[in-house]
Structure 1
């Protein structure tokens, strides 16, 4: 290739810089979106991996129904070559002074595993200091470093602390809890933890450990969530169970010995009294009954049951991985649309370029240049656009999209910022796709012309023959059309390839914008439907047991009270193959016929109402989807401290946030073998305001028996604050799709004008004004844009449904509908882009040199 020929190629690039830049921009957008979104999931996983390793997150935890003692730790001490462990002591309390359920945990003197990450301040050094979970600051903004924190629970729980007033010295995040909201379940209060407080050792009076946290050394350098990690973790759990299994009966015998030792004085008292009084003496009989009851209690002490959990049971750990996989799934769908559209546009662009340079190709072949030299111009042209577009797209995409999306998810998880990584397999794949879209398409387009003789190439290509349209046979309509409209319809149907490319290009961009707006609708509708259409109560009250007369009076006395429903409320867990353990709220209303006044149970599609019966439970739709169950199937439920029970599904109801299972009292007794304890109330207010709600909660919590008051206004603000971050992800889709639509419309319109410059110059010479010449093209573009918008609506509806299925979390179901205004917004944006492109084309057409354009090539 000579220097002169290279100058010709560079001159062609400069002469058609608009076309070159359009190819470059399309490649840039496709590659940026592909590599950026593809890198987001691995970047998020890498951040989690690094965080778990730095904070030494435990791989396994062990609890016991009889507490953990030195005998258990001695077993682990014999295996320190395989693991590291630490004992943890905690106590769950319901704070009567702030209406929160808190786990007060003693910090070990040395944090071997589960190291806390200090967000603000420092760790406690003195006995009167405390650090709080960062979640506490979000729930109670008044808590600050340097402030006072007081534990105020029931008298029984207060006695289990050596001190209850502390100075706040910091806020921390625990690697055990990735989510910003969930802190797991508990057996006190409303059944879920709000946050954790960490104090110095010896703050609690108990002498047994609550939990053993273990980190196996063979997992330290294994990637979390991987198949290797799961395989090794299963083996480690089996080994841990084998080591601790003999201690179950040892702990039973130890407690029985201690209990018998405590009974020794009572036994001596009975023996002495037997020697002094007759056998039927009432005092002796009563004392003997007390002894027999105590001995029965000693005999009833069962062997310890060890409960083994791993990382997957920690709130947020599994869900975080699932979210990264959803991002990976999205990274396959959306870039495919970009790549497909880019390929279509490159096909049209390169085809037009080959047709424009037929004369030059014929000249070069006549001068003796071979096919390789003649075709190298197109290869270099397309290859340079692909290389530059790929390089710029990789740099922008990998550095922008992961940071942006991770920041959106950052409001949901307690993780440090991600680090950008270049995934070379994806980058090479993006480059291969970009080169295929340019070099591959150029080779396909050139295959015919390079086999042609120079004489054939030096002749202009014969225009495509016109055909009689089917519409022309509808003579009544065709005669009423103006000349311009007839020309427009003939031109549209004459160039079917251009019609197809334009419609598909616009439809693809339109579909992505509809999906973006549709996601916003689906997210925004959750709050309205859940808190307005399905839940009709303003507070959830939790008590210690069945309501007393005094508690009922306290509940109903405040002026803000309107109505209430008494029910049993408890947290149950559901486990199933291939699905992370789910937590659901079990509700058993005392009067099932009144439930629909407080909770709407209905079919999502038909709005048919459901009612509790004696034959089964009503569960939420998302729970049914997760475990692939339907009406008539059975679902395993596990209450805290009990075994697994199976309930038959009588109906599947509409629900969007969290999970629920409703049972009638009769069916509850049938399943669990006992009467329900009605420990809660759903309360409706006469008016809903933050001040009235807080005052109502304060009134109840001053009285014995009330553990917790959850205000739905607060829940709505807390739970849906994280959804605001999802709007950032939606914004990415809309802006990216809009940018692609703009480039596509400009490129296709520019090609259309370039192809027909002689035709446009002819009608301009014949006396058409500049505006009329522009309208000559614009009519066609407007029809093609309309067709693209119509096709894009159907395509966008399908893509939106697919994305919702992919992006939902386990405890969340998106509203599947798209508002009509979202279709309107996407259509208007597409139309605005089309008008903007035509405004640019109008300026170009005004400055066309008609004489040059009409020069004959003969």
Structure 2
């Protein structure tokens, strides 16, 4: 038995040594399939684990409580009663519009002991003195002049300025907060343009306000529970319900307190009126006016409503829910994308093992004649394929798990403030990959052996009869067939004679072509966003936001700017779209004062037909991505929340093309119908007559010097901010093209090598007949060229489908890719595929030149 094992091992390794190219090609195809499968499958869990560790380390709160009337010490006593079940931390903050740098900033006091939402210092340190401040890392991106040791000055409106004990600070650090997972999104506000740019943290005592802005809560029952899981969501929902129950009685108490405070403030006035009543007759106009004022004040006190206590979970934090959705997108990609490699690997392995069985027929017949069992004879092929699978799987796992998660995390790195991921081996996926790899090789070997193992030794020891030729349907087309040369006729006959090879080659090349089209198509889809959004759809250059309606002085200041060409007055505010099962989305609500002029500034059109859409009085126009997220269409309704108002239902009149962020356009008439009030036209869309950056900055700075003008958003800045994260997507394109190229080389080389091996006697014969080396190569190359062209054609259809799938899977919630692929991308993909085919033929040309014709003709096979 030992001797038998040694003999078999010698046979096995001799076969590997004599067919190195075949063994390596099987190993490579398995390597690529396993690398993509295990690598991309590990990316989602790795990203989630990085987030889980970050939330735990920074102690991200599980719930947040806010009140429309502020958080009082009495509210905090409610939480103190439950200290044994939770941890809480109250914070004071104020949102300001910086008039000296055109940014909306949330200034908050950092607690002395950060029990929750611990900020992570990126550079510098936390403030130790009253005159020190730390800024959001995003501030350094938006304002590159900000640096450690520099001076930061708060310069906002007089009312907000009075809320600070000091307004000039020394910058001692830059930080990230777990409350803001995204690098750019800081949430909405009622100040300025409606969205926050960044936050700043100061020492306690800097803000004069007596009430807290919010209180963060972390329940003990969620410690150690993995975020985003069903268990976490179930407990978090229960905890939110508890907080709402605890604070429900506080609403009535706080209402009574506010009314009592208002009456106390009114008491001195009431005393003055009582004195006037004693001194003046009841018909006195002064007394009547004073009494009227008192009655009006008392009526206002009576109408003070109960404050709303808003309890939110982590999903209200910008980026928290979307990060999870992005990891799920990666998981979805890992389910379908590697199937291309696995399917092609199975096809190539079947072809290769079939050829190997055909080559070793005589050896199988000899062993069978010597009394070896079918199991013993077949074990050589199983070991051969199994060894290639095992080595390919080990190398694929080592490369895929260590490369793809890092690569994908880096692609998302510009979007989120998260630490680097730690690679983890998911053994269930690795086991599945190994089983698939073994099924591709061992399964293919069993399929190839199913006939030969049941044959008699005498049959196996005879050469297999060559595949019979068939009359082609093309031969009946005498006019064309008779015009073809001998070589062309032979090429066509060989193509349809070996149908399995034709199918394998076409599908293999089609898969490679599909991946290249997807890579170049992604580049097109990303690049088109900028062109379509900022050149075709938006025809304005700046957004100006005011405190209220436009005054004559503000209008004159705007019209006298050198850059000014035209403007559209509108209401501009941020709303939240809320619906169960979908992460909350922030959208820009715009109400133009003159809807008929909107088309000069914004193109509202159907993406497919380009049919223009007019803003009417019976519904809103929303963007396509928002409609997709909430599964709505024209005629449906969308739940929208504006500020502290109750949730409103907006009817959708049309869905318009859009790629960046979300919008909702309403006419003034429909706005009044939905929100029960007249819109305050607090903004302008402004068009410039030229676009020099320095002059645009001067335009913004000049306007902000005028009273009542809060913010100027330049679209050139928005374009730069929105698309810097998309630069990393070029890496995705490179990966697709490189992977497709590697796959094309392996597939073409393997199939061409098999083709040459199967027809070695035929090639030797034509070489003996006097064909030159170049003519012998062309004999094979013509077939490869035709198969490559067929694969390119089929790959165009596969590529379109794969590109569409990846776009719909990889899109973020506030971004929609342009779905079209440029014609030139098909050309690039086809040329690269042809280039790989030429490279393989160049390698094969050298091999064909070294064929020993006499040995080949003397062989039995």
Same fold per superposition (TM over 0.5): yes
Partner Cα distance (2:578, 2:463) in 1: 72
Instruction: State the TM-score, normalized to the length of structure 2.
Output: 0.99
Cα distance, 1:243 vs structure 2: 1.1
CA RMSD, 1 decimal: 1.0
User: Structure 1 stretch 723-732 or stretch 549-558: which is displaced more?
Assistant: 723-732
Cα distance, 1:807 vs structure 2: 1.0
Correspondence for 1:239:
242
Matched, 1:615 2:622: no
SS at match of 2:502: helix
Correspondence for 1:498:
501
SS at match of 1:415: coil
User: Structure 1 stretch 519-528 or stretch 666-675: which is displaced more?
Assistant: 666-675
Q: How does 1:47-196 map to 2 (within 5 A)?
A: 47-196=50-199
Contact kept? 1:64, 1:306, Cα under 8 Å: yes
19, 23, 41: which is aligned to 1:20?
A: 23
Contact kept? 1:516, 1:733, Cα under 8 Å: yes
**Residues 137-178 of structure 1: per-residue CA shift (max 9 Å, x gap):** 110011001100000000010000000000000000000111
Correspondence for 1:720:
723
Q: How does 1:292-691 map to 2 (within 5 A)?
A: 292-691=295-694
Partner Cα distance (2:581, 2:476) in 1: 61
Partner Cα distance (1:719, 1:811) in 2: 11
Correspondence for 2:233:
230
User: Structure 1 stretch 545-554 or stretch 636-645: which is displaced more?
Assistant: 636-645
Residues matched between the structures, number:
858
Partner Cα distance (1:811, 1:497) in 2: 47
Partner Cα distance (1:240, 1:637) in 2: 24
Correspondence for 1:218:
221
Contact kept? 1:39, 1:421, Cα under 8 Å: yes
Cα distance, 1:2 vs structure 2: 2.8
Partner Cα distance (1:259, 1:202) in 2: 26
Partner Cα distance (2:600, 2:300) in 1: 45
Contact kept? 1:405, 1:728, Cα under 8 Å: no
Correspondence for 1:830:
833
Cα distance, 1:257 vs structure 2: 2.0
**Residues 712-752 of structure 1: per-residue CA shift (max 9 Å, x gap):** 00100110000001121222222112111111111111110
Contact kept? 1:614, 1:664, Cα under 8 Å: yes
Correspondence for 2:803:
800
User: Structure 1 stretch 720-729 or stretch 785-794: which is displaced more?
Assistant: 720-729
Runs of 4+ in 1 over 6 A off after TM superposition: none
Partner Cα distance (2:182, 2:265) in 1: 46
Partner Cα distance (2:239, 2:339) in 1: 41
Matched, 1:287 2:286: no
Correspondence for 1:700:
703
Partner Cα distance (1:214, 1:200) in 2: 21
Partner Cα distance (1:420, 1:267) in 2: 72
Contact kept? 1:85, 1:215, Cα under 8 Å: yes
Cα distance, 1:441 vs structure 2: 1.0
Cα distance, 1:106 vs structure 2: 0.6
Structure 1 unaligned blocks of 5 or more: none
**Residues 667-688 of structure 1: per-residue CA shift (max 9 Å, x gap):** 2122222211110000000101
Instruction: State the TM-score, normalized to the length of structure 1.
Output: 0.99
User: Structure 1 stretch 322-331 or stretch 733-742: which is displaced more?
Assistant: 733-742
Structure 2 unaligned blocks of 5 or more: none
Matched, 1:731 2:734: yes
Matched, 1:791 2:794: yes
Partner Cα distance (1:251, 1:10) in 2: 85
SS at match of 1:31: helix
Partner Cα distance (2:131, 2:859) in 1: 95
Cα distance, 1:305 vs structure 2: 1.1
Partner Cα distance (1:640, 1:756) in 2: 77
**Residues 587-620 of structure 1: per-residue CA shift (max 9 Å, x gap):** 1111111111100011111111111111211111
Partner Cα distance (1:601, 1:314) in 2: 31
**Residues 361-382 of structure 1: per-residue CA shift (max 9 Å, x gap):** 1111112211111111101100
Partner Cα distance (2:419, 2:8) in 1: 54
Cα distance, 1:285 vs structure 2: 2.1
Cα distance, 1:293 vs structure 2: 2.3
Cα distance, 1:450 vs structure 2: 0.9
